[in-house]
Amino acid sequence: MSDLPRKAVTRTAKLAALPLGFAGRATWGLGKRIGGKSAELVGRELQQRTAEQLFKVLGELKGGAMKFGQAMSVFESALPEEVAGPYRAALTKLQEAAPPMPTRTVHTVLAERLGEDWQELFLEFEDKPAAAASIGQVHRAVWHDGRQVAVKVQYPGAGEALLSDLNQLSRFARLLGPLIPGMDIKPLIAELRDRVSEELDYGLEAQAQQAHAEEFADDPDVLVPAVVHQREQVLVTEWIDGTPLSEVITDGTPEERDRAGQLLARFLFSGPSRTGLLHADPHPGNFRLVPDDSSGSSDDSESPADRSGWRLGVLDFGTVDRLPDGLPSTIGASLRMTLDGEAEAVYELLREEGFVKESIELDPDAVLDYLLPIIEPAQLDEFTFSRGWMRNQAARVADPRSPAHQLGKQLNLPPAYLLIHRVTLSTIGVLCQLGATVRLRQELEEWLPGFLPDDAEPEPELELEPDEKDSAAGA
């Protein structure tokens, strides 16, 4: 890979070739079946070849193509297992890496943005990138004060590439739709396109990351690296080690999966309340499970998901939703009323917020029946997320014959909730990939505005004095 392919004609040709490739493989598959191979075997080969071509192109092009692939990768859990197998490896690759840009290009960008003497800012700088993603790549280095840092360098021409790719992808969104049952691809692409300017602005990213770093400083559960230096197209932050969530998904122990899942849910709901910002790019490549060396021994009465020993490292704040009052209280209130079976109240609230258009009349009980399976994780003290559960939900909503599909088509998603909706779905997708057992209700009670009635507060944990603990133990 010599550089980011920037010419619109080159990128368009590569993306436009995808539908032709799909059609060609379908013809190849028909020939195989005529030749005597079983439809099932040919189907698996077709899926594998399609996945390899699709994500090879998305990864090579980086830009909007790869950004789209990463956004899709968290929904892998929704695919039927016989389809998911061939796609899983290709999707996961997009969560962590892409072909790097040449060293000379990196040095040119650094000289332009940090000055010709940029190397004097570092005691060490590794030319080989530690990670490469959709619009930039990261190099490990040592800052002049001795701190280990991550240097994020934006690809030249990334802005044009993002817009070109997303415009092209939107033209054959219907072809990509079947990859993720029950998900409308076109709004996803439109929303990614709307946020291009924010994604490219490393100044905005530095502000969002530093706000999180300051709020979560010394937090026992979440670690956000502080911003060290920022210039146009270059962002320097503290370095954090840890296990990428993609590796926890494939090789993690049950304890690691549960801990990662609990912390991911905690960060999703606590972040907006604490910072007024929602981290809006929750694919596994942006998270690390970081060993907490300062932790002591755990209380055996605690769930493994709550035991200290790991923190959640959070990276990449290029896409955030600005929520100065935290998540809308409407979400918490409607969720609570749904759990309480208050069909009429839920329906009226959804209508007030624009989820049900004035021109449409729906049966409140049917709306409740539609919502209850989706919010099952909030009904229980503990819930184990799984690919099977995710597939069942996707199938229920995607099947044109099902009442859920018919009702879902009549609901509306107001623009103010678009990003919140995608981030929540994406996080649930990652929890299902982890197969994590999570106490989601606990996080909702603590962090989601409106979930508890106005007169209810989560009960604080009482700290017992040593003699009281002895008395309790003997009781």
298 has a pLDDT exceeding 60: no
Q: How far apart are CA 262 and CA 277, in angstroms?
A: 20
Long-range contact list for 299-307, CB < 8 A, 24+ apart?
A: 303/258, 303/382, 303/439, 304/254, 304/255, 304/258, 304/259, 305/255, 305/258, 305/259, 305/261, 305/262, 305/436, 305/437, 305/438, 305/439, 306/259, 306/262, 306/439, 307/255, 307/259
Helix (H, G, I), strand (E, B) or coil at 318: coil
pLDDT band at 338; cut points 50, 70, 90: very high
- Cβ atoms of 141 and 125 within 8 Å: the answer is yes
Tokens standing for residue 198: 């924010």
Question: Among residues 284, 241, 223, 254, which one has the least CA distance to residue 426?
Answer: 284
Q: How far apart are CA 68 and CA 162, in angstroms?
A: 10
Q: What is the mean pLDDT of residues 445-455?
A: 88
pLDDT tens digits along 148-166: 999 999 988 777 766 766 7
pLDDT band at 198; cut points 50, 70, 90: confident
Question: Among residues 58, 48, 70, which one has the least CA distance to residue 17?
Answer: 58
Highest mean pLDDT among 87-101, 284-298, 426-440, 441-455: 426-440
User: Is pLDDT larger for residue 472 or for residue 456?
Assistant: 456
Asked which of 21-35, 176-190, 295-309, 430-444 is least confident by mean pLDDT, the reply is 21-35
The pTM for the full model equals 0.75
118 has a pLDDT exceeding 70: yes
pLDDT tens digits along 257-283: 999 999 999 999 999 999 999 999 888
Question: Among residues 471, 411, 475, 1, which one has the least CA distance to residue 184?
Answer: 411
pLDDT tens digits along 242-262: 999 989 999 999 999 999 999
Mean pLDDT, the chain, rounded, equals 78
Residue 92 one-letter amino acid: T
Q: What is the mean pLDDT of residues 193-210?
A: 87
pLDDT value of residue 282: 87
pLDDT band at 34; cut points 50, 70, 90: very low
pLDDT value of residue 416: 85
Tokens standing for residue 340: 């309480």
DSSP-assigned letters across all residues of 226-241: PEEEEETTEEEEE---
Question: What is the separation of C-alpha 264 from the centre of its chain, rounded to a whole number of angstroms?
Answer: 10
